[in-house]
A and B are shown apart, each in its own frame.
Chain A
Amino acid sequence: MILAEIDWSSFLSSVFVFDDYGELFVLVRNSLWAGAVLGLVGGVVGTFVMMRDLAFAVHGIAELSFAGAAAALLIGADVITGSLVGSVLAALIMGFTGLHAREGNSFVGVLMPFGLGLGILFLSLYEGRSSNKFSLLTGQIVSVSSLQLTSMVVLSVLVLAVLVAVWRPLTFASTDPFVARAKGLPVRGLSILFMVLLGVSVALSVQIVGALLVLALLITPAAAAMNLTSSPGRTVVLSVLFAELAMVGGILLALGGNIPISPYVTTISFALWLVSRVVRAVRERSASYRRAVTATATTTTPRGAVAADGTGAATASSTPAP
């Protein structure tokens, strides 16, 4: 009789566990996919962020994305939409005010605390289960609904498709803007377009790693990649690889406990960067390919060119010299 009872309850619990497991599996599968997609977007977008020297802007956008999400929460709108609106708006403001100017950074510095303050205000006004359900600042515990995943995949595909379409001009405009403009490329238009893509990417990342830690996804992997190579192609591949390691690895590790994903992601990301930095330092010390390169270069003369004779006044000038 007792035996029968135990059997019954263990049967029940095993059913429940099975149910739980199935549910958990769906959630984990979703967040793993979300992580993989984000890793891809973050790795690719991050490369351009580094090329364009926009690290600080990413942080600013993330804070406004947070404010947007919190505002959406307050008025009962969709949080993802809120965070998208916040970050794209911030990105557009930065894009139009021109970030390459020196005042760009101070502008971001002004915008950032404002966004963060707004977000905290909205969150504190909101009386729902904000702390349980959303960790907009520090990232979510593993739970990505199928709807959330779908919207993320759609937006990610969109960002990547646009990036592929403008790949060469954007690279040109990011690394050599003045010549790109002389070549007839719409450098300003590309810059604004990229800011929109960046805004969308930040909004996506905020949902998983949180506003405060977006840099770990959008900067660190690309920075690590750039420590290892200066080939643009290899930079992108390594950056994506590192971002994937951080995201997927972070999610798998986070499964064990109640800690949010973000500490795992940021730690892996940082560790990868640290390794890359050490590799770079070792390479620079031992190989010092810079010196080797310049040493060979000065001895070469292009076809048809003759060595300068060196006669005459080296200071001779055809305009009254300064």
Chain B
Amino acid sequence: MQPATPRTGPAGPGPQNDAAAPATAADAAPAISLRDAELAFGDRVLWSGLNLDVAPGEYLAVLGANGTGKTSFLKVLLGLLPLTSGTVSVAGTRPRVAAAHVGYVPQQRGFPARTPLRAKDLVAQGVDGHRWGVRLHPRRVNRRVAELLERVGATEYADAPVGLLSGGEQQRLRVAQALAADPSVMLCDEALLSLDLHHQHVVSELVHEQRERHGSTVVFVTHDVNPIIDHVDRILYLANGSFRIGTPDEVLRSDVLSQLYGTDIEVLRSNGRILVAGRSDSTHHTDSPEEIIP
């Protein structure tokens, strides 16, 4: 149903395609660096010609409709998916090697009800779950876990089975788990999906706080940029096998997105909130029909 239209790179001029990181961190080695990166499944190209340097401490939001390759982008950064061509480095090294310094908040999926893990065990897995053998210093781990639970406000349900927790509660634990490694890079995949406004705010503040406190780089995949718009430095906007990179003001514009989508797109702002909508008279073909609000 989706046309395989391999593109050699993002079309059109503009500063949004410039890969340069903010000047403040120009001399620091980039936390994430992609060069001529292309990702394709078969002859379906998700994105190609991607050159991107994310500076340490930078907050990058990855936007795009379903199926545009946002999760795949994170998988590339995690080293779980090889690029079709080009190179990628995280923390100056191969993604797999950097994995220990990466905090990852996965796209939400609940735990089976009878999973033998309590909230604190889930967080503890972020602390030392990757180490071999059995836990030899439970007290040290417990202290760290208690600290993390406190930080995300999950102390009250520390002993509750994870399978019985709500989506918002599980998501806070996921954030605590990701923070456990004191990550220099945080990768969040739709971390706000299906959360109510309150929990969206809570989770995005936690991620922001990690960046403020420890200078962590953040890559935040989301459908809706509004809950994090105040924190975002740059946006990687994926659509139609192409993309735009730039500050929110550079990318979230009617002309830029219309060009990206190849159809009329309107970017509306109200009360500081941003709404991207397609025009109903659009006859242009896009990736998938549900991308455009009629």
Tell me the residues in window 177-217 of chain B with beta carbons closer than 8 Å to chain A beta carbons: 177, 196-198, 200-202, 205-206, 209
Q: Which of A9-17, A95-103, A162-170 contacts B (4 or more CB under 8 A)?
A: A162-170
Stretch binding the partner chain, chosen from B2-10, B23-31, B156-164: B156-164
**With contact pairs A183-B99, A318-B225, A322-B290 given, residues A166 and B198 touching in the complex (Cβ less than 8 Å):** no
Tell me the B61-88 residues at the A interface (CB within 8 Å). 63-66, 78-80
* Pair B223/A290 contact, Cβ less than 8 Å: no
Interface string of B138-167 (1 = CB under 8 A from A): 000000000000111111110011111110
**When each residue 283-322 of chain A gets 1 if its CB lies under 8 Å from chain B and 0 otherwise, what string results?**
0000001100110110011111111101111101111111
Give per-residue flags for A24-58: 1 if the beta carbon is below 8 A from chain B beta carbons, else 0: 00000000000000000000000100110100000
Q: Does A2 contact B (CB under 8 A)?
A: no
Question: Is A184 an interface residue when CB atoms closer than 8 A count as contact?
Answer: yes
Q: Which residues of A contact B169 (CB under 8 A)?
A: 294, 297
The answer to whether B121 and A231 touch across the interface, beta carbons within 8 angstroms, is yes
State whether the Cβ of A8 lies closer than 8 Å to any Cβ in chain B. no
The closest CB in chain B to the CB of A235 belongs to B116
Point out the residue from B128, B156, B275, B276 that lies within 8 Å of A313, measured CB to CB: B275
Residues of A within 8 A of B161 (CB): 230
A179 touches B116 (CB 8 A): no
Within 8 Å CB of A296, what residues of B?
Answer: 156-157
Residues in chain A near residue B225, CB distance under 8 A: 318
Question: Do B274 and A304 have beta carbons less than 8 Å apart?
Answer: no
Tell me how far the C-beta of B100 lies from the nearest C-beta in chain A, rounded to whole angstroms: 6
The 10 A-B pairs of least Cβ separation, nearest first, read: A302-B153, A184-B99, A318-B225, A230-B161, A172-B129, A308-B201, A308-B197, A312-B273, A322-B290, A182-B104
Complex formed: what's the CA distance from A185 to B100 in Å? 10
> Which residues of chain B have C-beta atoms less than 8 A from A304's C-beta?
205, 209
Binding stretch for chain A, among B11-19, B33-41, B43-51, B264-272: B264-272
Interface pair B117/A175, CB less than 8 Å apart: yes
Contact B164 A318 (CB under 8 A): no
Docked complex: A132-168 residues within 8 A CB-CB of B? 164-168
B290 — nearest CB in chain A belongs to which residue?
Answer: A322
Chain A residues closer than 8 Å to B116, beta-carbon distance: 47, 50-51, 175, 226, 229-232, 235
Would you call B132 and A168 a contact (CB within 8 A)?
Answer: yes
Report Cα–Cα, A165/B136, bound state, in Å: 12
Given A301-B153, A312-B273, A320-B276, A176 contacting B100 (CB threshold 8 A): no
Known: A178-B106, A184-B96, A319-B224. 9 other contacts (CB 8 A): A51-B116, A182-B102, A226-B116, A290-B164, A308-B197, A316-B273, A318-B222, A320-B265, A320-B276
Task: Identify which of A290, A293, A303 contacts B156 (C-beta below 8 A).
Answer: A293
Q: A308 vs B64: C-alpha distance in the bound complex, in angstroms?
A: 24
Residues of chain B contacted by A181 (CB below 8 angstroms): 80
Judge whether B1 is part of the interface by a CB distance below 8 angstroms. Answer: no
In the assembled complex, B42 has its CB within 8 A of some CB on chain A: no
Closest B residue to A234 by CB, please name it.
B116
- Knowing A293-B160, A319-B64 are in contact, say whether A182-B130 is a contact too (CB < 8 A): no
Cβ of A171 under 8 Å from chain B: yes
Chain B residue at minimal CB-CB distance from A227: B114
In angstroms, how far is the closest chain A Cβ from the Cβ of B278? 5
Let me know if B93 is at the binding interface, CB within 8 A.
no
Chain A residues with Cβ below 8 Å from B111 are: 175-176
Of B156, B196, B198, B276, the residue contacting A317 (CB under 8 A) is B276
| Cα(A320)–Cα(B270), bound, Å | 16
Q: Which one, A184, A231, A318, contacts B226 given CB within 8 A?
A: A318
* Contact flag A316-B226 (CB < 8 Å), given A176-B125, A300-B156: yes
Q: What is the chain B residue whose CB lies nearest that of A176?
A: B125
CB distance from B124 to the nearest CB of A (A): 9
Question: Is B118 part of the binding interface, using a Cβ–Cβ cutoff of 8 Å?
Answer: yes
The listed residue with most B CB atoms (<10 A of its CB), out of A164, A171, A318, is A318
Q: Does A212 contact B (CB under 8 A)?
A: no
A296 to B157, CA, bound (A): 8
Contacts of B151 in A (CB 8 A): 302-303
Q: Which residues of A contact B205 (CB under 8 A)?
A: 302, 304-306
Residues of chain B contacted by A321 (CB below 8 angstroms): 223, 293
Tell me how far the C-beta of B212 lies from the nearest C-beta in chain A, rounded to whole angstroms. Answer: 10
Assess whether A180 is interfacial by the CB under 8 Å rule.
yes
Q: Which residue of B lies closest to A53 (CB)?
A: B112
| In the complex, chain B residues whose CB is within 8 Å of the CB of A322 | 65-66, 290-291
Chain A residue nearest in CB terms to B235? A318
- When the two chains form their complex, are residues A305 and B202 in contact, meaning their CB atoms are under 8 A apart? yes
What residues of B have a CB within 8 angstroms of the CB of A314 in the complex?
A: 197
Q: Is B137 an interface residue (CB 8 A)?
A: no
19 residue pairs from A and B, CB less than 8 Å apart: A53-B112, A165-B133, A168-B132, A168-B135, A169-B132, A179-B106, A184-B96, A230-B117, A294-B166, A297-B166, A300-B155, A302-B152, A302-B202, A303-B150, A304-B205, A305-B202, A317-B223, A318-B223, A320-B65
